[in-house]
Amino acid sequence: MAKRLIFILGISCTIFFLIPLVKAQNLKVYSNKDWGFSINIPEDWYFTEANQIIEQSNKDKQSQKLELIKESGLIVSISKFPFNQKVDFNPNINISAKNIELSPKPNTTQIVDYAKQILVSLVQQKKGLNVREVKFNGVIGAETAYEYQMFHNNKNINIFALTVVLIDQRTNNYFIIVASCLKEKSNEFERLFRETIRSFKLL
């Protein structure tokens, strides 16, 4: 399951690029009312929602990609370039969501532990994984940064990824936010990834 989720994230990386965040006034807000959240993104980024990606995958008869998108619970991909613009491997931020049944209602410690369990189940590189508790705008969860290798353009490349799992205690929805770039670009993009993810809010 983890390998399949990482694979879909890798697919989306081939078409997305992010630029460094410079000034707060250069932000815009992406909101999703169906899942009840918003996140700040640079004003010149594009966002592509899952239904658009699914529609294009159907047209292109990409059944494997279509299955992986649905399985991952992808909501939106955020990028510098429009969807389907052909560029080299580029950094991107993907947001997925699913609903869980938690009964009886768990306390904060149990919520954090559950978020950590989800996170570890998603990440391929578990050796030496540093998972820590986070809280963004009242939403609690867990995060980790790690590296992995994927096959891209007929060669293996090294990827840096920052993955965060946040749980909405009101609805039992959990959100998976994965930001990734080439390992060699991590110094350039890690701060951007963290600032964007920290802006995540429930509506």
Q: Which residue has the higher pLDDT, 100 or 113?
A: 113
For residue 60, what pLDDT is reported?
63
Contact 113, 84 (CB under 8 A): no
Q: Where do the domains of the chain lie?
A: 2-202
pLDDT for 69 beyond 80: no
Greater confidence (17 vs 143) lies with 143
Top CATH class of 2-202 equals alpha beta
Each residue's pLDDT tens digit, 6-63: 433 444 443 333 444 444 448 899 999 999 999 999 888 889 888 887 777 666 656 6
DSSP per residue over 137-195, as a string?
A: TTEEEEEEEEEEEEEETTEEEEEEEEEEEEEETTTTEEEEEEEEEEGGGHHHHHHHHHH
Q: pLDDT tens-digit profile of 175-186?
A: 999 999 899 999
